[in-house]
Structures are given as C-alpha cells and as structure tokens.
Amino acid sequence: MGAQALNAALLAAAGAGVQVGAAIVASRFVVDTVPPLTLAMLRYAIGFACLLPFALLVLRGPRPAPPVRDLLAMAALGTGQFGILIALLNFGLQHVAAAPAALIFSLFPLLTLLLGAALGREQVQPRLLAGVLVSIAGVALALGPKLQAASGGHWWGEAAVFASACVGALCSVLYRPYLQRYPTVPVSAFAMLASVLFLALAALAEGWPARVTAVPGVAWAAVAFIGVSSGVGYFWWLYALKHESPTRVTAFLALNPVTAAVLGWLLLREPLPPRLLGAVALIAAGLVLATRAPSGERQARAG
C-alpha cells in the first residue's frame, strides 16, 4: 500500500476516534430524555439516510449482487456494531459520566488485539503486552474511587460500557474480509440499515413512536449531530479497517477519552480532576506502545 493510502487510512481512523468521543458526550446530554434503544435507532436511522445517496452512486451500473451468506454476515455485523454496541453504551451512559465511560471504552483496541491473536490474525509481541498492561493501569487509575468503595455500589454502567467495547472489537476483527470484497460506502449503509431494523423492533419496549414525538427541540439538535457524525464517522472507520489492520485502526480510539473528557468538562460541567488526566495519559501511552509497528515493518512501508 502506498504512503498516500496509508496516511488517508490513519487520518480516517483519527477522525473516527474524535467522533466517538464527541458522540459519547452528546449521548450523555440526551440519554435522560431519549431512552438507550430509541437513541441508538435514531442515531443510525439518520446515519443511514446520510450514507444512502452516496451508496446508490457507488452502486450505479451492472454489478453482481453479494451472495446471501455475505449479506447475512454483514447484516449480523452491522446489528452488533450499531445495534447491540450502541444500546449497551447508551445504557452505560445512564449510570457513568462521559469521560470515565470513554476511558473504559478505550479498551476496545486491546480487546481487538487479543481477539485478533486468538483468531491467528495478530501477533502479540512483548511490546504489545506492555501496552495492554499500561492501558489497563490507566483504566484502574480512572476508576480508583470505585475500586476502593464499599461493595454497596453497583457496576451495571461500567459493565455495559465494557461489554459494548467487546462487541465492537469482535466486529472489527470480523469485518475486514467483507470490506476487502465490497465498496466501503454500500457496506456501511447496509450495515446501518440492518441495525435500524433490529433497533426499531427492540425499541418498541420503550414505546419509541410516542417517545420520538415528545423529544424537545434542543434534544433533537443533539440527536441530529449524533446521527450525522456517526454516518460520517463510521464511513471513516470502515475505510480505515479496509486499508489497515484492526488493531492499528482501533488504537486511534485513544483520542476518544481525551475528546470526551474535554467536551464533558466544557459542555456538561463534568469535573476534570488530575487523576482523570493521568489516566488519559497512561491509556494513550499504552495504546501507542501496543500498536506501533516494528521498525522493520515501518521501513518496508516507507520503501
């Protein structure tokens, strides 16, 4: 792969990392007004509407249809990546502030690395293991007060955010073959459509038709931002996954806790204590250490 394509993939991954952090803060702003499943459905319905015109342009002209097994696999991955992941994340955000949630979610790249190694698609080197340990230390630092708290507290929110990261890691590893076979925009749009259908059924338990009509204007502005940015961000995400390894792409999610912490402080008046800043620094350092290419590989890319 040429340097220009590589740089575009890494830039797309960085943009997706920033988008995730911004969407976490915006979701935190509206999650008390719009229930988790309904918010996830609206998020990707808007994202699908944004991507659909571009997907239709890409699909103009005669083109063989993907086999049914590939369509079913992409639909399942889309439901997991968009439906289950976001529903778990939104549930977690009802119980966890934006910045700590983003810190837990930043384990995404490390989970991707471990899953990729288990499936024979990644090699765990000592430097990668060191990065895992440094990043986990950062999460432990962020959650220090709860780690020391009495057992009377609950961990539902943290567990839901961690589960969402696990789902995302699995989907990121499994997406790559389909992204190499088919254009990125149609895959993104199809995956979003599958998730919207799943979420529309699941969100009936929240009474989403009545909920949507009662959403105030300010909340709609936040939902619109989440939806549009998610459509763009997920295209960037899949483009990066198509051209780079899943671990290196997901490493750029290290940008999301920084984004969430700063925006949560600016917009939601959430505290920004030194402990949290130290945790962000540890996680970012761990991810860089874990996902940096060996010198021989970097020289091969430069050549």
- Report yes or no: 171 and 85 within 8 Å, Cβ to Cβ: yes
Q: How far is the C-alpha of 160 from the C-alpha of 27, rounded, in Å?
A: 15
What is the pTM (predicted TM-score) of this model?
A: 0.74
- Report yes or no: 231 and 65 within 8 Å, Cβ to Cβ: no
Distances (CA, A) of 256 to 13, 25, 75, 139, 235: 11, 10, 26, 14, 17
Q: How far is the C-alpha of 81 from the C-alpha of 79, rounded, in Å?
A: 6
Work out how many domains the chain is built from and give that number. Answer: 1
Q: Which domain holds residue 149?
A: 3-57+65-302
Q: What is the pLDDT along the chain (303 residues), one digit of tens a residue?
A: 455 555 788 788 888 888 888 887 888 788 788 888 888 899 889 999 999 999 998 888 777 788 999 999 999 999 998 788 878 887 887 787 766 777 787 788 788 888 888 887 777 777 777 877 887 787 777 666 655 544 445 788 888 889 999 999 999 889 888 988 898 889 889 998 999 999 999 899 989 998 888 888 888 999 999 999 988 988 898 888 888 878 778 777 777 767 777 777 787 777 777 777 787 788 778 777 766 655 545 444 444
Would you give the DSSP letter of residue 293? P
Q: How far is the C-alpha of 145 from the C-alpha of 164, rounded, in Å?
A: 23
Question: Which two structure tokens, joined as six digits, stand for 46?
Answer: 């808007």
**Residue 299, exposed/middle/buried by CB under 10 A (0-12, 13-18, 19+)?**
exposed
Please report the DSSP string for 11-22 in residue order.
HHHHHHHHHHHH
- Residue of 20, 245, 283 whose CA lies nearest to 122: 245
Contacts of 247 (CB under 8 A, 6+ apart): 109, 112, 113, 116, 122, 290, 291
